[in-house]
Chains A and B, each alone.
Chain A
Amino acid sequence: MVAYLIRRLINAVVTLLVVTLVTFGVFFLVPKATGSDPALLYIGKQADPVAVEGIRTKLGLNDPIIVQYWKFLKGIVAGRDYANGPDITHCSAPCLGYTFKTNQEVWPILIHALPVTVSLAIGAAIIWVLMGVIFGVISALRRGSIWDRSVMTIALAGVSLPIYFTGLLALTIFVYGLEWLPNADYTPFFDNPVKWFTGLLMPWVTLAFLFAATYARLTRANMLETLGEDYIRTARAKGLKERTVIGKHGLRSGLTPLVTVFGLDLGALLGGAILTEAVFNLRGLGYWALNGIRTNDLPTILGVTLFAAFFIVIMNLIVDLLYGVIDPRVRLG
């Protein structure tokens, strides 16, 4: 078990390294190929050549790409100094560099944005898992009924409708129309839990709707498959109550496959729910990702990508470890 864990952790680190290599390569080689200059992005197009050269030296853009990459990695682990002669700027670890436009350190921006995304993702996840599982199970138990068909139709709509449609619709109805909810806004949980909740409720529900739809369909399919299994018949043959048959024997195997999907979905969302954050103007990782793309801000994009990759890798690891616990047939070691 310990050996397995160590192997998986090394695996995770290697994966992340590869991600940094690829993103670093893409974002720093492509400008070179297209002839645009990161230094110009940083300093503005009208800068005089001396200042541009100064920036190039300071950012290390004249170094070979391998050296640049090495310094970037070193910055994450140990921090780094940007130096142009006596002009030294220290960026402490973990250093993801400075934004081109506003010359701020990237790491603190992202760390500051993280609670917004985490609140959004976790809250939505709770709603969509509950809704998806409940509706999916009932649909499976009443297959072919009016209930089943209505839920599956709504679920189909949920899967098909994009966030910027449902989100704007929700805003129009609940905020501007009925005025039931305040406009979406992030308040740190420890500042004011109630405001945290009300401010995030609409983004949660909107985001959850999309996922709940998928989960309801998935749960229904899994449950139908499970309920046809021989061991469900055995459970009934033992004289167990139907509630135990479904609630214990059925759910146990019907919901297990959801763990994988859930882990990956949550991991992906933790890297930034770009559309949801954009629609509701929440300044999470997704907001900064979008911002970075819009302004060609390479260090920000690189930072957000790393965060996103980190969450995916971690959630993947958690799911795999969890599987060893919930499915005894999966042997770890």
Chain B
Amino acid sequence: MSKERPYLEVKDLTIRFETDDGIVQAVSGSSFTLEKGQTLGIVGESGSGKSVTSLGVLGLHRTRSNAKVTGEIWLDDEELITATDEKVRLLRGGKMAMIFQDPLSAMHPYFTVGSQIVEAYRVHHPGVNKKVARERAIDMLARVGIPQPERRFHDYAHQFSGGMRQRAMIAMALVNDPQLLIADEPTTALDVTVQAQILDLIRDLQEEFGSAVIMITHDLGVVAELADEVLVMYGGKIIEKGPALDVFQQPQHPYTWGLLGSMPRLDRDVRDRLTPVKGTPPSLINLPDGCAFHPRCPYAGRNGNRSFTDVPLLRDAGLGGPHLVACHLPPEERTKIFQQEVLPNL
């Protein structure tokens, strides 16, 4: 046990919800690590388990009596799943914070933005008086680039523009200098021009504070821009994982190919159609047998139909790096398909 633990280590995280319709297997056996100063991108469709994973790290499923979370989550050498509610609560918003997707619904409509930031600060700094907390909040608003922070402090969320609102949300998340910042689709609800500003802001703040960032998104462009490492999730499982550059240059999973193929690109003829991933995401209550992706996979029939029966494990992709993939196709065949069939169409 000489090797030190990474700042964040998630081991075999499994999250399920018991509902009237059956057990929802939202996340199955996810493992990943993240160091300070690094950014992990989690990519996948809606319902792939990416948001549930991040809420799990924050321990936000604890208030849901029908949620069952197993595995290990180590943050700065503390295990969080077995920790008490109170302990996790104190870490939440302090050491680890989250930026949500839609800042209008994620901010309370009846409290001023300023008071919500003050509240976040004071809960982790109980000794601090209101005036100091207020100064801190205004400081943060200024830091994230909100003009006239003293005045905006007293405004409500609905009085902010979309981009300013997301900045305020970021100010609220960062007010306690979190070492782990989880951003759940932080730019999805924003205009494209504002998206870029927000991503720049997150990157700048990360450099400034040296925090670890988990960036959850379905936008591969965002990941390409920010992430050091990428996880691709499908049906609650990690199906591909590796350094961002590797995953983008040599994607290994047919689903990742599909994601890349459905990304619009400026350098392509506008008359070329995008190639979407056919079919719909699987039901998490009733996952397909074998590889969860096989009903949508054009290559599922290859390699002796194993995809229909055996669940592929996340293994070395055979590229001589830390790149992992969960696919039954042999590495050579994958490379061949990618080079000959996928790449020319990207």
Contact = CB atoms under 8 A, between A and B. Distances in A.
A237 B93 contact: yes
Nearest to A232: B108
Contact of B108 (A236, A239, A242, A249): A249
Chain A interface residue number, banded: 20 to 34
Nearest to B95: A239
Interface string A223-263: 00000011101111111111010000100110010000000
A328 interface: yes
A236 B58 CA distance: 10
Contacts of B158: 328-329
A229 B105 contact: yes
Contacts of B63: 236, 242
Nearest to B124: A239
A169 interface: no
B110 A252 contact: yes
A253 B109 contact: yes
A63 interface: no
Contacts of A231: 105-109
Interface string B155-183: 01010000000000000100000000000
Interface in B80-136: 89-94, 97-98, 100, 102, 105-112, 119-120, 123-124
Most B Cβ at <10 Å: residue of A234, A252, A328: A234
B123 A239 contact: yes
A230 B116 CA distance: 14
Nearest to A250: B108
Nearest to A253: B110
A327 interface: yes
A326 interface: yes
A327 B100 CA distance: 23
Contacts, number: 75
Nearest to A329: B158
Interface string A304-333: 000000000000000000000011110000
A241 B92 CA distance: 11
Contacts of B109: 231, 253, 327-329
Interface string B140-151: 000000000000
B92 A236 contact: yes
Given A240-B123, A329-B156, A233 B110 contact: no
B346 interface: no
B314 interface: no
- Please report whether the interface of chain A is mostly helix, strand, loop or mixed according to DSSP: helix
B270 to A, nearest CB: 37
A239 B156 contact: no
A252 B108 contact: yes
B178 to A, nearest CB: 10
A326 to B, nearest CB: 7
B79 to A, nearest CB: 18
A233 B120 contact: no
B60 A236 contact: yes
Contact of A237 (B92, B108, B110, B119): B92
Nearest to B55: A233
Nearest to B117: A238
Contact of A238 (B55, B102, B172): B172
A230 B108 CA distance: 9
Interface string B31-67: 0000000000000000000000001001010010000
Given A230-B105, A234-B100, A236-B63, A241 B89 contact: yes
A327 B157 CA distance: 12
Most B Cβ at <10 Å: residue of A238, A242, A244, A252: A238
Contacts of B58: 237
Contacts of B60: 233, 236-237
B108 A253 contact: yes
Nearest to B112: A328
A246 to B, nearest CB: 10
A323 to B, nearest CB: 11
Given A242-B63, A328-B109, 10 more contacts: A230-B102, A233-B55, A234-B172, A237-B92, A238-B92, A238-B120, A239-B123, A253-B108, A253-B109, A328-B112
13 contacts: A230-B100, A230-B102, A231-B105, A234-B172, A236-B92, A238-B92, A238-B172, A239-B91, A240-B89, A242-B89, A244-B123, A256-B110, A328-B156
Interface of B: 55, 58, 60, 63, 89-94, 97-98, 100, 102, 105-112, 119-120, 123-124, 156, 158, 172
Interface of A: 229-231, 233-242, 244, 249, 252-253, 256, 326-329
